[in-house]
A and B are shown apart, each in its own frame.
Chain A
Amino acid sequence: MNAYPGVFTEESATPVVRRVALSHLSIELGHLYMDDFSAGEERLREHFRRVLPWVRTAEQACADEVHRGRPRVSTCFLVDDYFTRFGSPAEVVDALMGAAGDAGLTIDYVARESGCATADGVDLATLVRQHLVAEPPEGDNGGRPPTAVSGWLSNGERAETAPAAAMAAPRPWQPPRQSAVQNHSIFVDIELWNGPTGEVLWSCPFLAAVWQLQRLGLIRHLGEPVAEPRPATADELADDWDRMPAVVQLNPRATPFRAYRTFSALDARFLPIELAVRTILGQVAVDATVAAQVRERAKGDGITLPDEVVDRIRYAFL
C-alpha cells in the first residue's frame, strides 16, 4: 500500500508497518514527580481518591460509545525519572499500586518518563522531532531560526517592533498573532529542548507529546512499534531506573496499553503543559500508513476517529 498518493515508491522500499494492539480508551491516572512521592503515601492515596470519580466517568462514557463487544479500557501511570531521580522502581511502583488499590483503582501499566526520550535503544524523542512539521507563520522571512535548529515551536507569530529608519518616527508595536486565530489570539512559544547536540535535554511538554503519541499507537520505528509493554510484577523490577522497561505491564489481565483515544486526569497545574502538548501534536506529521491503519482498525470496531490527533485526547483537570 502506498500511503502517499501520487508519489512513486518501490513496494519493497516501504517498510512493513506492524499493527499494535489497541484498547478503546487509555486512562492516565496521574503523573508522579519527586515532590509528590516524597510527600508520603497519604498524598498518593489522596491523589487517587480525587481522580477516582473522573476515571469512573471516563469508563462509563467509553462504554456508552462502544456498540460492538465489551469496552476495552486500560489504565496507566507515568513516573518522572527524567528530570529528577528518586527511590527505586520497585519501591515507587509498590507504593503507587498500594495507594491506587486503596482507592479502588488498578494500575495496568506503569511507564517511566525517560522511556519517552529513549526506549529499547531507539531515540524516541528524536524520532518524533523528525516528524515535526512546524507551520511557518504568515510573512515569515527566516529571521526566526527553524524549529529543528532553535528547538522552539510556536503557534503563530511573535510580537515585534520593526526597526525604523534612523530619526524617523518609531514604528508601532505589532502584537503577536495566533495562526489559527478565532477573533482573539492565544500565542504560545514552546521550548522543545535545550542543550548542545548529543546532550539534548528534552522539555516536559515534548516528552508528554511523545507519551500521548505512544498511547495513541502512532509511533513506529522502521515499521516496528517502540517500547512494547513488558509484563512484570513490582517485585521483579530492577533497582535501577535505567534497567526498568519503558512501559511495564503490572496487570496480566489488562487490555492493550495503546488505545484509540486517551483520557488523562491531571492536576490543574498541568494545564499549561497540556496546552503546549496540543500545540506540538498539531504540528507533528504522523506516518500516513500508521494513521490509516489505526483509523481502519477503529472503523472495524464501529468507531469513527477524528483525523486530528489532538481531537482524540481528553482530559479532566482537577
Chain B
Amino acid sequence: MIVFATSDKGGTGRSVTSSNVAYRHALQGGDCCYLDFDFGSPTSGAIFDLPDAYAGVPEGGLHSYLADGAAEPRRIDIWAESERDVLRGRPPGAGRLALFPGDRGGGEFRSAPEIVERCVDLLLRADEEFNLVIVDLSAGRSYATEIVLAATASTALRGVVARWLVFHRWTRQHIVAASGLVYGKHGILETATELGHDPVTVRDNIRFVRTAVLDPASPGQAGLRPEQLAWLDVCNKRLQELASRRRVGRTSVLAQIPLDPVLQWQEQLLSNDDVWLHRTANQRTVDAFDELAKKIVDDSAWIGL
C-alpha cells in the first residue's frame, strides 16, 4: 500500500507526523519505507537522526534517480544507521524501516515522461517489498504531486492501493488551504482526473489529518484563563463549521494529532522512552500516531463516503 502525505501549506507537521507513523507501523510489525519526495527541501534525515543525511545524501538519492536517471536510489536502514540509541537495533517483533532520502542540495524538478516512468518503477518495487510505503510530498501544488499522480495513473500501478493524507493545522487559513488543495482549481482531484484517474476513487482515498491541535478540554490547558478557554471553545466551533462547509469536516478526517511540546521544539520520532522514561512527550500524541498508523492500513476507516 502506498500513502501519499501532502499539505497545502508548510509547517503543518506533515513530515514529522508521517515519519512517526512510519516508525509506529514498523513497531506494529509491518515493513515500512519512507520516500522523501519533498524535493525542494530534502531534510527527512534530520527527523530520523541520520547525521550523514541531515539535508539529504551527497549523491545517489531520489533526485539523482528520478531526475538524472541514476541507478537504484540510495536507501538507509533506520535500525542500523540512526544515531539515536532508541532507534539503534530493530526491536523484537518490529518490521523493517527504511528511508529513501533526496540528494543534498537537490531542488524541485518538472515532471517529464521519463521521470514519471522511473517513479512508477520505484513505487512498484517499494510496494512489492514493503507493507506500507509512505511518500512525503512537497507542500502545495507541486511537481512532486504531479509526478506521483501521473505515476499512479499508469496501468502498472492500477492494482496498487494508493491513499492520500492531507495535513493541515487547525486554523482558518489552513482549513481553507487544505480544502483548496484537494477540491480547488488545479487541485489534486482536478489534476488526477486530467491525468486519467477516476475522480470518485481518488476522492474516496483522500483523508485529512489535523495537526498540532490545541484541545481546550485537555489537562495540559490548565494554565489558561477562563476567558481564554471560552474563546478557544467558540473558535473551535467556528472552525468546525468552516471545515464542514469546505468538505474538510469530521467525516473526512482520519486523525487529529494534539499539540506536543517536544515536537514544537524538535522534529523527531517519539519513542516510548520519551513518554515514560524522560517524560518529555505526551502519551496522547504517541497514541494518536499509533492509531493513525493502524487506521492508514485499516480498510474500514476508508469506506467511501
List residues of A whose CB falls within 8 A of some B CB.
Answer: 163, 165-169
Contacts and interface: CB of A to CB of B under 8 A. Distances in A.
A167 B110 contact: no
B274 interface: no
Nearest to B187: A167
Contact of A165 (B149, B186, B188, B194): B186
B41 interface: no
A131 B143 CA distance: 44
B215 interface: no
Interface string B76-113: 00000000000000000000000000000000101100
Nearest to B192: A167
Contacts of B187: 167
Contacts of A169: 186, 194
A256 to B, nearest CB: 58
B186 to A, nearest CB: 5
Interface residues of B, number: 14
11 contacts: A163-B110, A166-B108, A166-B110, A166-B111, A166-B146, A167-B142, A167-B146, A167-B186, A167-B188, A167-B191, A169-B194
A166 B188 CA distance: 11
B256 interface: no
B142 A166 contact: yes
Interface of B: 108, 110-111, 141-143, 145-146, 149, 186-188, 191, 194
A166 B194 contact: no
Nearest to A163: B110
Given A167-B142, A167-B188, A169-B194, 10 more contacts: A163-B110, A166-B110, A166-B141, A166-B143, A167-B141, A167-B145, A167-B146, A168-B141, A168-B186, A169-B186
Nearest to B181: A167
Contacts of A166: 108, 110-111, 141-143, 145-146
B6 to A, nearest CB: 11
- Can you list the 6 inter-chain pairs with the closest CB atoms, starting with the nearest? A167-B141, A166-B143, A167-B191, A167-B146, A167-B186, A168-B186
A163 B109 CA distance: 11
B114 to A, nearest CB: 15
Contacts of B186: 165, 167-169
Contacts of A165: 141, 186
Contacts of B191: 167
Nearest to A168: B186
Nearest to B145: A167
A14 to B, nearest CB: 53
Contacts of A167: 141-143, 145-146, 149, 186-188, 191
A165 to B, nearest CB: 7
A117 B92 CA distance: 77
A168 B149 CA distance: 12
A219 to B, nearest CB: 46
A110 to B, nearest CB: 52
A167 B189 CA distance: 10
A163 to B, nearest CB: 6
Contacts of B188: 167
A260 B274 CA distance: 92
Nearest to B108: A166
A153 to B, nearest CB: 29
In this complex, which of A163, A167, A168, A169 has the most chain B Cβ atoms within 10 angstroms of its Cβ?
A167
A89 to B, nearest CB: 50
A163 B111 CA distance: 10
A170 to B, nearest CB: 9
B12 to A, nearest CB: 18
B139 to A, nearest CB: 11
A168 B195 CA distance: 11
A50 B216 CA distance: 99
B278 to A, nearest CB: 41
Nearest to A169: B194
A166 B195 CA distance: 13
Contacts of B146: 166-167
Nearest to A170: B111
Contacts of B141: 165-168
A23 B289 CA distance: 92
A140 B286 CA distance: 57
B153 to A, nearest CB: 13
A292 B149 CA distance: 65
Nearest to A164: B110
A130 to B, nearest CB: 38
Contacts of B149: 167
B137 to A, nearest CB: 11
A315 to B, nearest CB: 43
Nearest to B191: A167
A26 B86 CA distance: 88
B69 to A, nearest CB: 20
A238 to B, nearest CB: 52
Nearest to B185: A168
A284 to B, nearest CB: 38
B145 to A, nearest CB: 6
